[in-house]
A and B are shown apart, each in its own frame.
Chain A
């Protein structure tokens, strides 16, 4: 494993941000770091760059604790985007290339390369604060990519992007991963990114909920069947389903029953049961969404989790009298 997150703990006053978080990120894949707002994603990413202190735990890169030299080979796009507003785009990108150890000519070459690659050609002499919001996002990505990092860490890279921007961003992440770079990005929009990443770690309340290849997680231990009978809006037919065959997880408004097949059971028997109840409209294996994977694992929906976090943050602010 390229990047190992091992037992991270961090408390802010009464709030526990990280509670023994552990997971590994392999090279050459786009790896999603998912969870509701307040789960501890940003704290983890900041800890990778040493801009937040940890109470306990260790972060290793290629088997060794992350140090300053290693960080110079990392690229970072923080959640709170930030560049020097009065600096020209090229100067800005080149400056960060040099801060990461590139010499003058190499830094200039790389800066122009990424400015062109990200569709900012002709803007090299434009001040950052004169760029549009979308172009500022691209500039931020250029800064993260310019020194050809071996580990790319992006905090919520898809937030605030339009559909075209999401496609561009995911294309670049996939291209970098294909070039052998370890790519770790976070998102609280679990379903938005399920097609973008190959593997994920989903966290909640500072702990790992589940991790692994997206395809495996969505299929789950018990494959999912979606079955609908004509004119049966409440899926009454499924009352006769024996737990030895499967269990109904939920019924959609159109009457489609979502059934988890019991391990070792024969789906044909479920098909027979449904056909006996009436004309069969729909019968298919389906993948679960990542937000459903989250709900099954935690018992809370992503929305509920975020609402709880918002309320807890507010309470903590009232208790300490400080807005942070």
Chain B
């Protein structure tokens, strides 16, 4: 009976947050903008590539009608254009490939050479490779290509540079952590501001005459969290739908796993930070002080986020970044990046998720105590050190 009442009260608090925020113009506009941005980010490269200049495929030792035909067909089938270019010898072809004049090189009877072969193999490939993969498939499927097969056109793919995780997987990792970062900091500061508002408007005193502090806190982070989750889920759906509709390579194989890992860490990250933001909000008496109290809470996120770019654009993460991947405050950003970059196996991702979940429980217990102790105190801003000290003795 008591639990039932307690849940009802918490849900009332949560649903007020949802109703009040979901109908604000800011929420509607930012949701729409974010969804459009996601759709464009996914679909634009695929759409643009269809109109861009044709990819040149160098054929060592001169072109034949069959090979030219197959390359042209393959380009068309993969949604772009491809033309065959005759190359006198392999050295000249490789030089042209390095400086970007050619997208791939075909050495009949021997191999296909690209600049860099993705770590995940053919699936989750760069565009050029996707086309070449399509080319190999075409040779098997299209009647009349048997001659070409006989000439050995279905060939191993070799890269000029060392293999690495595909760029699309990395880009998806970047996309994921941008969303994790934006959602946690936007909704986290909404929690802190909302609690600052309750405290500075003094409505909290009326609330706490019928609601326990922990119900008020949980209701608030639950309501705002559900909104954040709804926004994240709709962004992922748009990502997948727009990806498939435009034929983007972002929705194949490994990249989808990156999105899923990002989703899990987005929820864990929110869970870890929401109570910390709430505690920060409870320390102020004026709403304008909120920005300065949430700064320390945001620092680990900012650190992990800033370092992520070095991992995404460089090959491999350093040891420090690997450590960040397992610390609960930084794991929500660092671990999806490490996973997207192909630097960690799945079991390490799971370990980091479990550690973050445990850290969340620990954080919530401290934060609830700070919140309960500070929420009814007026006067100047309370420092974190003071709040922690007092919450221990309370």
Which A residues contact B (CB, under 8 angstroms)? 46, 49-52, 68, 71-72, 74, 76-78, 80-87, 91, 95-96, 98-101, 143-144, 322-324
In the complex, are the beta carbons of A324 and B379 less than 8 A apart? Answer: yes
In the complex, are the beta carbons of A85 and B209 less than 8 A apart? Answer: no
In the complex, are the beta carbons of A72 and B210 less than 8 A apart? Answer: yes
Residues of B within 8 A of A82 (CB): 201-206
Residues of B within 8 A of A85 (CB): 197, 201
Closest 7 CB pairs of A and B: A82-B202, A49-B209, A82-B203, A80-B202, A76-B209, A78-B205, A324-B379
Residues of A within 8 A of B379 (CB): 322-324
In the complex, are the beta carbons of B212 and A68 less than 8 A apart? Answer: yes
Closest CB in chain B relative to A69 CB, distance in Å: 8
Is B211 located at the chain interface by the 8 A CB criterion? yes
The 8 Å CB contact of A81, one of B202, B210, B377, is B202
Residues of A within 8 A of B380 (CB): 322-323
Closest CB in chain A relative to B196 CB, distance in Å: 12
Number of A-B contacts (CB under 8 A): 68
Please tell me the size bucket of the interface on B.
20 to 34
In the complex, are the beta carbons of B206 and A95 less than 8 A apart? Answer: no
Closest CB in chain A relative to B2 CB, distance in Å: 8
Q: A76-B205, A86-B197 are in contact. List 10 more A-B contacts (CB 8 A).
A: A51-B205, A51-B209, A52-B376, A77-B206, A80-B378, A82-B206, A83-B203, A84-B203, A99-B207, A324-B378
Closest CB in chain A relative to B134 CB, distance in Å: 55
- Name which residue of chain B comes closest to A77, CB basis: B206
In the complex, are the beta carbons of B209 and A71 less than 8 A apart? Answer: yes
In the complex, are the beta carbons of B202 and A51 less than 8 A apart? Answer: no
Residues of B within 8 A of A143 (CB): 206
Residues of A within 8 A of B210 (CB): 71-72, 96, 99-100
Bound Cα distance from A82 to B209, whole angstroms:
13
Bound Cα distance from A126 to B157, whole angstroms:
69
Residues of A within 8 A of B209 (CB): 49-51, 71, 74, 76, 78
Chain B residues numbered 302-325 whose CB sits less than 8 Å from any CB in chain A: none
Best-surrounded residue of A52, A87, A95, A143 (most CB of chain B within 10 A): A95
In the complex, are the beta carbons of A96 and B206 less than 8 A apart? Answer: yes
In the complex, are the beta carbons of A76 and B206 less than 8 A apart? Answer: yes
Bound Cα distance from A68 to B6, whole angstroms:
11
Residues of A within 8 A of B198 (CB): 84
- Name which residue of chain B comes closest to A323, CB basis: B379
In the complex, are the beta carbons of B12 and A95 less than 8 A apart? Answer: yes
Bound Cα distance from A83 to B184, whole angstroms:
27
In the complex, are the beta carbons of A80 and B20 less than 8 A apart? Answer: no
Bound Cα distance from A101 to B1, whole angstroms:
13
Bound Cα distance from A95 to B16, whole angstroms:
8
Bound Cα distance from A99 to B5, whole angstroms:
10
Bound Cα distance from A143 to B197, whole angstroms:
18
Bound Cα distance from A99 to B377, whole angstroms:
23
Closest CB in chain A relative to B28 CB, distance in Å: 16
Q: A82-B206, A322-B379, A323-B379 are in contact. Are A98 and B20 (CB under 8 A)?
A: no
Query: Could you show 20 A-B contacts with beta carbons less than 8 Å apart?
Result: A50-B209, A52-B376, A71-B209, A71-B210, A74-B209, A76-B206, A78-B209, A82-B201, A82-B202, A82-B203, A84-B197, A84-B198, A85-B201, A95-B12, A98-B12, A99-B12, A99-B210, A101-B5, A323-B379, A323-B380
Closest CB in chain B relative to A153 CB, distance in Å: 9
In the complex, are the beta carbons of A99 and B211 less than 8 A apart? Answer: yes
Residues of B within 8 A of A84 (CB): 197-198, 201, 203
Is B245 located at the chain interface by the 8 A CB criterion? no
- Name which residue of chain B comes closest to A72, CB basis: B210
Bound Cα distance from A87 to B377, whole angstroms:
24
Is B208 located at the chain interface by the 8 A CB criterion? yes
Residues of A within 8 A of B205 (CB): 46, 51, 76, 78, 80, 82
Is B78 located at the chain interface by the 8 A CB criterion? no
Bound Cα distance from A82 to B201, whole angstroms:
5
Residues of B within 8 A of A100 (CB): 210
Closest CB in chain B relative to A184 CB, distance in Å: 14
In the complex, are the beta carbons of B9 and A99 less than 8 A apart? Answer: yes
Best-surrounded residue of A50, A51, A323 (most CB of chain B within 10 A): A51
Bound Cα distance from A84 to B194, whole angstroms:
10
Residues of A within 8 A of B204 (CB): 82
Residues of A within 8 A of B12 (CB): 95, 98-99
Residues of B within 8 A of A98 (CB): 12
Q: A84-B201, A322-B380 are in contact. Are A49 and B208 (CB under 8 A)?
A: yes
The 8 Å CB contact of A87, one of B20, B211, B378, is B20
The 8 Å CB contact of B201, one of A83, A91, A322, is A83
Bound Cα distance from A68 to B209, whole angstroms:
9
Bound Cα distance from A143 to B206, whole angstroms:
9
Closest CB in chain A relative to B90 CB, distance in Å: 70
- Name which residue of chain A comes closest to B20, CB basis: A87
Closest CB in chain A relative to B262 CB, distance in Å: 33
Closest CB in chain A relative to B197 CB, distance in Å: 7
Bound Cα distance from A99 to B210, whole angstroms:
7
- Name which residue of chain A comes closest to B216, CB basis: A99
Closest CB in chain A relative to B198 CB, distance in Å: 8
Residues of A within 8 A of B376 (CB): 51-52
Closest CB in chain A relative to B289 CB, distance in Å: 15
Residues of B within 8 A of A76 (CB): 205-206, 209
Closest CB in chain A relative to B153 CB, distance in Å: 68
Chain B residues numbered 203-245 whose CB sits less than 8 Å from any CB in chain A: 203-212
- Name which residue of chain A comes closest to B13, CB basis: A99
Bound Cα distance from A51 to B201, whole angstroms:
16
Best-surrounded residue of A84, A101, A323 (most CB of chain B within 10 A): A84
Bound Cα distance from A82 to B380, whole angstroms:
19
- Name which residue of chain A comes closest to B198, CB basis: A84
The 8 Å CB contact of B202, one of A49, A78, A96, is A78
Closest CB in chain B relative to A225 CB, distance in Å: 47
Q: A322-B379, A324-B378 are in contact. Are A86 and B207 (CB under 8 A)?
A: no
Closest CB in chain A relative to B47 CB, distance in Å: 41
